[in-house]
Every structure is written in structure tokens, then in C-alpha cells.
Structure 1
Amino acid sequence: MGDGETRAVLLTGAGGGVGRAATQALADRGFRVYAAVRGPVRGPVRGPGLGLASGPLRSSSGGLPQHPNIRPLQLDVTDPESVASAVAYVLGDGCTALHGIVNNAGIIVQGPLELVTPEDLHHQFDVNVFGPVAVTQAFLPLLRSGNGRLINITAATARVAGPFFGPISASKAALQSLSDAQRLELAHWGLPVVVIEPGLLDTPIFDKASAAVAKATAALTPSRTALYEAQVRAVTASLAKSKASPPSIVADAIVKALTARKPKPRYTVGPDTRLLGLLARLPLRTRDRLLAGVMGLNKVPAAQ
């Protein structure tokens, strides 16, 4: 094939920081990008039952780049009907083969696991685990037709779960495990499965996660909030010193995974990701001690 001139890619979470950067990068490389966002889409887009809309190419998720190669579509990865409609839209657009599926949509649920609500924990897995599975299952026939690649965006915490990041870490670890299994399952058709592991990024998703924690904390009684107040303060102060990487580094990895003749099964992105990879190889007690020190928890007096 040529360098992306006629190849099509489905990318979920296109309205976020990584999604917008990846959408722009792929469109610039000549890919036709089906840029999926959760909210309503306005623009000259034709889809099943939608007719022809007018107005600038924008989404409710922060705005998509304007580019002739970009096809915005509405897709809620947690809604089976929405997933089915997205498949119908892609087929209705004349696309019968995909070069890539990029499962990028995701959310972050964080905080002490004792205080995380069941609803938030379920939503974490609905978006980060069950959503990618549903999208992959629905679009695999098109991927098989295009002899394409499946790319799942996990996280550095998939290998090392940090304190107060249990929900997001567990969901990304689950997605990592599913990717490992499917890498062997799809090898029969020569379809590569690639995992991209980013670390701390300068994107709105982390601000949204912090706002969600603040909202959840406000609903707790003072005694419940006080349980982890000192620890959370220490971890927050530690993270404030961390340097976030630009989302473009993940977009570059996505482009590389889609264009390399033989893509790697895993791309680690960002310096903190490499550090966590080293920590993952250490004995658990050593790892816990180092993490507690890095995150400031060793300075918090033990509960009496």
C-alpha cells in the first residue's frame, strides 16, 4: 500500500487531547480518519438517519481539527446501539476495510478505593475495558478485510498500580491482558495487536479526574474525608512536581504503529513510563517502599 493515501482508521476518543493530536497527525499523513467522539457532532457529515448537517466541523468534546480526510462520528463506546450505528455509518460512507482500530477513548477514576463509589468503579471499566472490547468486536470484520492493526491505548499504571490510582490502573491492566490474549488470537490472520503505554500527559483528562474526585469528596461526611486526607495531600503535592508530556508524543506513537512495516507489540511513551517499567521488575516490598517515598507517603505519620 502507499503511505496512507487510501487507508482508513477508526479512532475513538477523538475529542480529547491525544485524540485530537492523533486525528490531525493521521489526516496529515493521508489517512481517512473516522474520528469518534461521545457527544453530538456538527458538520457536513452524513450518517444513518442523520441526513446532512451544516456548520463548522466541531464536536462537544473540545473540537476536532478541520481537514478533508476527517470523518467525525458520534460514538459512545458503552452503548451497544451507538457502536452498531457507528459501524453502519462507516459502511454507509463507502468504507469496507480498515487499516486500523485505535481504542483511545478512556476516563480516569481515582481516589482511595475505600471511598470510590460502585457506580464510578463500574463506569471506569465500562469505558476503559468493555468499551474497547465492544468496538473491536464490532469493527473486526472491517479490520480483517483491510489486513489492518488493532491499537489499544493503556497506561504506565497498567504495570505498576500507584496509590489512589487503583481503578484506572486496574482497568488499563485488564485492557493490557486482553490485548496480550488477542495478539495471539489475531496472529492467525496476520493482524498485529499493539499496546501504547503513555505516562503523565498534559491533557484535560487529568483535570476532569481531579474535578470528579472533588465532587465525590464533597458528598462524603467529614469523618470519611479525613481518613485519607493527609495521604491524598502528600500524593497531590508529589504529582504537582511531575512534568507532563505533550499529547503529541502519543500521537507520534500511534502513527508509527500504523505505518511501521512490522509494528512493535508495545510502545512505551514518556520518561515516567520507562521508570515504572523498571519498578515493575522489582520485588513487591522494594517497589512499595520506593513508590511510597516518591509519592511522599513515607512522610505521613501512620494512623494510631
Structure 2
Amino acid sequence: MPNRTPLLSPHGKAVVVTGASSGLGEACARNLARIGFQVYAGVRRTEDAERLTASGAARLVPVILDVTDEKTIAAAVDRIAEENPETGLFGLVNNAGIAVTAPLECVSPELLRRQLDINVVGQLAVIQGFLPLLRTGAGRIVNITSGLGNVAIPYLGAYAAAQFAKEGLSDALRRELAPFGIPVSVVQPGAVMTPIWDKMALEAGRTLEDAPEAVAELYRDTFLRFLETNEHSARTSAVTADDVARTVMRALVVKRPRTRYGVGKDATGGRLLARLLPDRAIDKVFGGIVTAAS
């Protein structure tokens, strides 16, 4: 008879998912609610909260939570503490984020700060806010990063910097929180087609327009070609938001979660590249991206 890994029951356990208004976050929130968790779906706008409420999903409760706004974080913590005074919080899924896509020479300091504020500083602020409830609930943390937390590729340097930083935070947190019995897992999705791609394309065009024309011209052809290729890769990817949601669920219900979960061949492949190949060899792998269009 095959060995079966024992799973924890989700019933009676509360989980917070940030960035749950669409894409990976919404898929994670809905899947966790479906299997029995009480899910607090963090969204920034009241219209997103209203839409999730109108969907009628059982055990899915929208809560206003902007990871860059300490007041909304504190309010969300207070509400969840009030509604779960004895059981606390079992899971915190940090998914909220943006993806700045542009040649680094075109990325303004303001845009880089926004990338890091949302994807790194805001993540830590949320974790700090919910840690007392996680201790009460003997809970765990799941940080969603990206395959770009393994290897930085051209034109996604700002996003990769944020993902590398989130990976580092996750490693340090895992070691610091081990004495308190709070596991920290990282989920690294590869390319997945979600609404973030439309936002990326829109923001990328604006970033190129805002850069000095002489600088923008140096990159325009190869960068636009990169955007087209990258979106095609996401659209044809075998990985879906539901695949990521199932991986997040597993990190929450297994008794001994792994430190890292890769989702998709490009995510796991990137990790292997970073481990096995020297920097110059990896440079050659991605050299075609920045080769001028003929």
C-alpha cells in the first residue's frame, strides 16, 4: 500500500491572501476557500471587494489591504484578530506585486522605488503585522516570488531585483522564525498568463515614452520584440493560475512544507541554470534577447 503524506485539515483555519483582486492571488484565494479555509482576500479597491462578495463564494471574505499603506495593514490585522481571537491566523500568502518591465537605463528611481516598495518593503510590513496572529495560530507563511528570483534576464532587471530580495527575505525569515515553529515557503511560478501581462505591456510603453528619446531609441526594437516574445511565452505556457493555486494549497496543508516549490519548466529550469552554469554561460543563453533586430 503506497505511503500517503498526512495532510492538515483546513477547517476552522484562517488564511490571508494578498493581491487577491485578480490573477494568481484570486485563484489562490478561491481554491483555498473551496477546500475549507476561511480566506481573507486582500484587495486595494472597494469595487474589487464588492465583486468578490457578489460572487457568493463561501468562506471567501474580501478585506481592504494595500501592502504599501500601514493603516490598511493595521486595520486588516485588527479585524482578523477580532474575528479569530482564539485560533489566530494559520496562513499568510504574500502574493501582491507588480512587474516593472524596461531596460534598466530607462527605469527611473521613482519607478524602481515603487517596484521595491510593493514587492519587498510592503511584503515585510504585512508579515510583521500578522506575525503575532501567526504565532497564536501555529501558522505558516507562503511567499510567491518568480522564476526570476533565480536568474535575472534582460529588460526585467527591476522585477528580478525585487524577486531576489524577496527570496532573501524568505530565507532569513525561515531561519529566524524556525524557533517559533513558523515555516516559511517560497512558491516560484514560471510564466503564467494573468492580467499582469496587460499591465506590464501598458507600463512598459509608458516607461519607454518617459525615457530620453536618445536612450529609448537604443533599446526600442529589441525591447518591443522581447515584450511580444515574452507575452507569447505566457499565453502558450502549460502552467495556469490554478496550478500555482494548487501548489500554494499544498504548502499550507502538508505537515512539513518544502522551503521552495517551482511551478513550471521555466521556473525549475532557471533554478538549475543558476546552480550549474557559470555567469558567462548564462549570459550567452540570454544574449539573443538583446541582439539588435535585423
Alignment correspondent of 1:93: 83
Q: Name the SS for the 2:286 alignment partner.
A: helix
Which of residues 31, 51, 58 is equivalent to 1:58?
Answer: 51
Which of residues 27, 34, 39 is equivalent to 1:21?
Answer: 27
Give, as a single letter, the amino acid of the residue that structure 1 aligns with 2:72: S
Q: TM-score, normalised by structure 2?
A: 0.91
Which of residues 8, 12, 24 is equivalent to 2:18?
Answer: 12
Offset at residue 41 of structure 1 (A): 5.1
Q: Does 1:177 align with 2:171?
A: no
Once the two structures are superposed, residues 258-283 of structure 1 have per-residue CA deviations (whole angstroms, 9 ceiling, x without a partner) of 00111101000011111211211210
Give, as a single letter, the amino acid of the residue that structure 1 aligns with 2:79: Y
Offset at residue 118 of structure 1 (A): 1.3
Alignment correspondent of 2:271: 277
Offset at residue 235 of structure 1 (A): 2.1
CA pair 108-258 structure 1, distance change in 2 beyond 3 A: same
Offset at residue 300 of structure 1 (A): 4.6
Distance 1:64 1:262 in 2: 36
Alignment correspondent of 2:3: none
Distance 1:194 1:65 in 2: 30
Distance 1:278 1:267 in 2: 13
1:145-164 equivalences in 2 (<5 Å): 145-164=136-155
Which of residues 181, 188, 196 is equivalent to 2:187?
Answer: 196
Once the two structures are superposed, residues 230-251 of structure 1 have per-residue CA deviations (whole angstroms, 9 ceiling, x without a partner) of 3213423432442332111110
Q: Is the 1:194–1:264 Cα contact (8 Å) retained in structure 2?
A: yes
Distance 1:87 1:157 in 2: 30
Alignment correspondent of 2:249: 255
Distance 1:241 1:39 in 2: 30
Q: Name the SS for the 1:228 alignment partner.
A: helix
Offset at residue 88 of structure 1 (A): 1.3
Distance 2:134 2:47 in 1: 24
Q: Is the 1:22–1:254 Cα contact (8 Å) retained in structure 2?
A: yes
Give, as a single letter, the amino acid of the residue that structure 1 aligns with 2:287: A
Distance 2:201 2:54 in 1: 24
Distance 2:184 2:269 in 1: 24
Give, as a single letter, the amino acid of the residue that structure 2 aligns with 1:179: S
Offset at residue 176 of structure 1 (A): 0.3
Q: Name the SS for the 2:216 alignment partner.
A: helix
Q: Is the 1:98–1:142 Cα contact (8 Å) retained in structure 2?
A: yes
Distance 2:223 2:61 in 1: 42
Q: Does 1:291 align with 2:286?
A: yes
Distance 1:157 1:287 in 2: 13
Distance 1:236 1:66 in 2: 37
Give, as a single letter, the amino acid of the residue that structure 1 aligns with 2:36: G
Alignment correspondent of 2:218: 227
Offset at residue 224 of structure 1 (A): 2.6
Alignment correspondent of 1:67: 57
Offset at residue 119 of structure 1 (A): 1.2
Structure 1: gaps of 5 or more residues: 44-56
Q: Name the SS for the 1:151 alignment partner.
A: strand
Q: Is the 2:221–2:292 Cα contact (8 Å) retained in structure 1?
A: no
Question: What is the number of residues matched between the two proteins?
Answer: 283
Higher RCO (CA 8 Å, separation ≥ 6 residues): 2
Identity, % of aligned positions: 39
Q: Name the SS for the 1:267 alignment partner.
A: strand
Larger helix proportion, structure 1 or 2? 2
Offset at residue 221 of structure 1 (A): 4.2
Structure 2: gaps of 5 or more residues: 1-6
Distance 1:126 1:203 in 2: 22
Offset at residue 139 of structure 1 (A): 0.4
Alignment correspondent of 1:113: 104
Distance 1:255 1:224 in 2: 44
